[in-house]
Structure 1
Amino acid sequence: MTSLIGQRYEIQDQLGQGGMQDVRRALDRKLEREVALKTPLSTSAAKRFESSAQLSARVRHPNIASALDYFIDGNTEYFAEELIKGIDLQKCFDNHFTRLCPDTAAKLLHNLAKGVAASHQVGVIHRDLKPSNIMVSKDLSFTMVKITDFGIAKLAELQIEADLKNQHENSATSSTLIGALPFMAPEAVAKASGKVQLGPKMDVWALGAIAYYMLTGKHPFGPDITAVVGILSGTPPKEPDKHIMGGATHKVASDLWAIILQCMKNSPDERPTASELAELCKAMRYLDKPRVTVEITGKDPNTPVWFGCFGQETIALPHAEFIHGTPALNRRVSCFAFDGKPYPRGVAVMQLK
């Protein structure tokens, strides 16, 4: 008979391991549901693991992974969190997308802002917002988006501060710092000096940096420790390329860029609150539809229209609707599908990797 952790959880397999915690898929035998079961990996993480779980449990929102349980079995602490059956946004970029279309980026930012606003209303700051802490639909439809690691992020912040203080002495900076740094607000980077008080607006800056990454496929000031100079400079990131800001999606792209600039103001006082950010996003007239993944199967010899299939359906892909990448047979693309005759029509087509 398989032994149960905490007389309740049966380990299924490992989901991942970061600098702070180990994450495994487990089956809750009492409620017959799968959960993400987390344990601290370091002594410093273990010291704050219970309080981090308590922080996470205070936040309840559809766009935030739910805290389910905390317990100690033997000498090991465990934190059970809602198991999100999706893909994290960083892997989404690593494996599939070069960037997102403005409509999808705006939609995701809106949902993220609503989740962060809910956490701020109960006094919880995430502190470590980045693409790897954001889960989206595995089928790349972006119908689901959830923020993870609300509680554990405080542990990450302490590790990051230590790494920033020591990085001039140790060139091998931690994976925790490398992943977080491009999305850290100026005051979070400067806190290594011990002179800065952090507040909820650091999360708003991070959301702006994530939105920039989604819109352009690039980090605002660089992908690693080199981003520090740009982050602390007080200057805005480079404006997105003209091909991103133009075309049929130019209005949403322009509105999103303006919001990004507000979020990434150097002074926290000049940034919107997360609730205000959610309202700004709500005012954008972005297209709120699921995206579908299509394989290109052919081209009309007489018109600039390509064809593809998703499931058992054929879809028409007008060349003019390709906003990223050149059409090619057997390539995967992502698009919005609209009713049409004789076939549905693909809009805002993005070529996938």
Structure 2
Amino acid sequence: MGACTSKPSKSNPFSPREDQKNDNPAPTQLPKSPPPLSLPPTTPFLPLYTPSPAHRWKPKTPSTPLHFFRRPFPPPSPAKHIRAVLRRRKPNKETQNEAKIVEGDEEEEEEGGVELDKRFGFSKELRSKLEIGEEVGRGHFGYTCSAKFKKGEFKGQQVAVKVIPKSKMTTAIAVEDVRREVKILRALTGHNNLVKFYDAFEDHDNIYIAMEFCEGGELLDRILARGGKYSEDDAKTVMVQILNFVAFCHLQGVVHRDLKPENFLYTSKEVNSMLKAIDFGLSDFVRPDERLNDIVGSAYYVAPEVLHRSYSTEADVWSIGVIAYILLCGSRPFWARTESGIFRAVLKADPNFIEEPWPSLSSEAKDFVKRLLNKDPRKRMTAAQALCHPWIQNHNDVKVPLDILVFRLMNAYMRSSTLRKAAIKALSKTLTADELFYMRVQFALFEPNNGSITLENIKTALMKTATDAMKDSHIPDFLFSLNALQYRRMGFEEFCAAALSVHQLEALDRWEQHARCAYELFEKDGNRAIVIEELASVSLEFF
């Protein structure tokens, strides 16, 4: 829904624009990503088609051909369903009173002259507190101006003010989007890699969101200035900041849903300036056991499970994988001339790791990107796990936060049968040093007493990083499922089993070795069959 700073003003940005058709494009530079998508749950799902055939020398698995930044392409034409969404979010005069939007249990009817309640309860003292300056950028639903505080603790502080016209909020969904954006910004502000939120104002015509002014430009601008390729060390610097921010959001129960280079700004023009995330217009709260189903995001960065209408925080990690791919090789992993084509590539094609510069990059870098771009969200790394990946774990003293996945896995483990617990413990004994690094970091964050943790340790560690957003996502309520730990302690060995994702282990090349070693812990007689006595023996050893 816009950014703190962006490109120069564009004419009439709020009205839908007809895409220009060009059968023989000759692009000269990479354009911005298409406007974020936001489809209501009733939109028909996209049909699946086979992607374009790969080159004859490529593997049998379809793969999107590389399209480098030095040979970009025009913006793709929106698919029919995306045009329908834009019409719904910005209806014309003839259809404005006919819209009927259903979002969960909420239904908004505009028939009979019933108007939307656009009172947000924000401060109305904008003119007395802020001196509004020039417009510095425009987004899809609003524009951004520079401003300065006239008085108070921030007197003289330059800020960016995002202006969202109330006239553009023509549906209940649009109104709720703005309420939620401000709520999330207010709750999460304070993180080093998140743009600082100052205050929100309103008058009869507009909503004003005062945020930190970032004058260093977008991450996309720096990518283009470099010709689309970063060194591995420079890419690590960017990745660490993005992953830290996303891991923090996910721990608070917030999914961003529109991560892309345009939504990260540098605080200054300095080469090593800090990266800040912006634009929470599509963000939402999500419980650890909840699945979202509305299709939102930007086409090039949308995860496969979003198109399947069943996703959670893992969708953000996919978007990070796309950004990492772009940083390292200068091209998008999935490309087509239309949104429909992009979606088909996301669902069916595999990223190209054969063409240059991939053969010259480290195996750790390739493994890092591949594990972020796993089409199965259960096998995809989390943001906290990515910070523990061998490619990135030792870069500039990386600090790893608590991983929300640990709580989900511990919940499943505590409810498992004795046999399943024994099998998972056997698998945990086969973990390598790199895999145990993540376990040790997470276990240490619970501040164990005498080498073990209790429910109190878990609650204390979680509350140390808690924000108001965590309450809205009901994460503290999720701890009730761990009440069994109230009466006993969990050592590191059992924690490794409780926090182990079998799905992620299956995605590794060495999965068969893990499974075989775990099997041999059960099979003791050498007859290649596990008998009841052996199961009982192993269970007694583990418990």
TM-score strictly above 0.5:
yes
Correspondence 1:210 to 2:210: no
Q: Specify which of 161, 175, 180 is matched with residue 37 of structure 1.
A: 161
Q: Specify which of 6, 9, 17 is matched with residue 130 of structure 2.
A: 9
Structure number, greater radius of gyration:
2
Q: Specify which of 84, 89, 94 is matched with residue 224 of structure 2.
A: 94
CA distance in 1, matches of 2:199, 2:302: 29
SS in 2 for 1:270: coil
1:103-162 deviations in whole A, cap 9, x for unaligned?
11122111100111111111111110001001136536143211111x21339xxxxx99
Q: In the TM superposition, what are the counterparts of 1:55-134 in structure 2 within 5 Å? A: 55-59=184-188, 60-134=190-264
Q: Aligned partner of 1:51: which letter? A: R
Q: Aligned partner of 1:28: which letter? A: F
Quick check: 1:25–1:35 contact (8 Å CA) kept in 2?
yes
Q: Aligned partner of 1:54: which letter? A: K
Q: CA 1:12–1:131 in 2, change beyond 3 Å: closer, same or farther?
A: same
Q: In the TM superposition, what are the counterparts of 1:195-234 in structure 2 within 5 Å? A: 196-222=309-335, 225=339, 226-233=341-348
Q: In the TM superposition, what are the counterparts of 1:268-279 in structure 2 within 5 Å? A: 268-279=377-388
CA distance in 1, matches of 2:141, 2:255: 18
1:55-106 deviations in whole A, cap 9, x for unaligned?
1222231011122211212332111111112110112233443211111112
Quick check: 2:365–2:391 contact (8 Å CA) kept in 1?
no
Q: Aligned residues, how many?
A: 254
Quick check: 2:236–2:392 contact (8 Å CA) kept in 1?
no
Quick check: 1:110–1:281 contact (8 Å CA) kept in 2?
no
Q: CA 1:137–1:68 in 2, change beyond 3 Å: closer, same or farther?
A: closer
Quick check: 2:214–2:267 contact (8 Å CA) kept in 1?
no
Quick check: 2:228–2:326 contact (8 Å CA) kept in 1?
no
Quick check: 1:133–1:147 contact (8 Å CA) kept in 2?
yes
Q: CA 1:115–1:101 in 2, change beyond 3 Å: closer, same or farther?
A: same
Correspondence 1:22 to 2:143: yes
Q: Specify which of 229, 233, 236 is matched with residue 350 of structure 2.
A: 236
Residue 172 (structure 1) aligns with: none
Q: What is the CA-CA distance between 1:238 and the residue it aligns to?
A: 0.4
SS in 2 for 1:58: helix
Q: CA 1:77–1:109 in 2, change beyond 3 Å: closer, same or farther?
A: same
Unpaired runs of 5+ residues, structure 1, are: 156-160, 165-175, 191-195, 289-353
Q: What is the CA-CA distance between 1:228 and the residue it aligns to?
A: 1.2
Quick check: 2:329–2:357 contact (8 Å CA) kept in 1?
no
Quick check: 1:99–1:214 contact (8 Å CA) kept in 2?
yes
Quick check: 2:162–2:208 contact (8 Å CA) kept in 1?
yes
1:281-332 deviations in whole A, cap 9, x for unaligned?
77455589xxxxxxxxxxxxxxxxxxxxxxxxxxxxxxxxxxxxxxxxxxxx
Q: In the TM superposition, what are the counterparts of 1:115-194 in structure 2 within 5 Å? A: 115-136=245-266, 138-139=268-269, 141-149=271-279, 151-154=280-283, 180-190=298-308
Q: What is the CA-CA distance between 1:275 and the residue it aligns to?
A: 1.4
CA distance in 2, matches of 1:236, 1:200: 22
Q: Which has the higher strand share?
A: 1
Q: What is the CA-CA distance between 1:5 and the residue it aligns to?
A: 3.0
Unpaired runs of 5+ residues, structure 2, are: 1-124, 285-292, 398-543
TM norm structure 1: 0.65
Q: In the TM superposition, what are the counterparts of 1:308-319 in structure 2 within 5 Å? A: none
Which region of structure 1 is more displaced relative to structure 2, 214-223 or 92-101? 92-101
CA distance in 2, matches of 1:281, 1:127: 27
Q: Percent identity?
A: 23
Quick check: 1:106–1:256 contact (8 Å CA) kept in 2?
no
Q: CA 1:102–1:55 in 2, change beyond 3 Å: closer, same or farther?
A: same
Quick check: 2:314–2:380 contact (8 Å CA) kept in 1?
yes
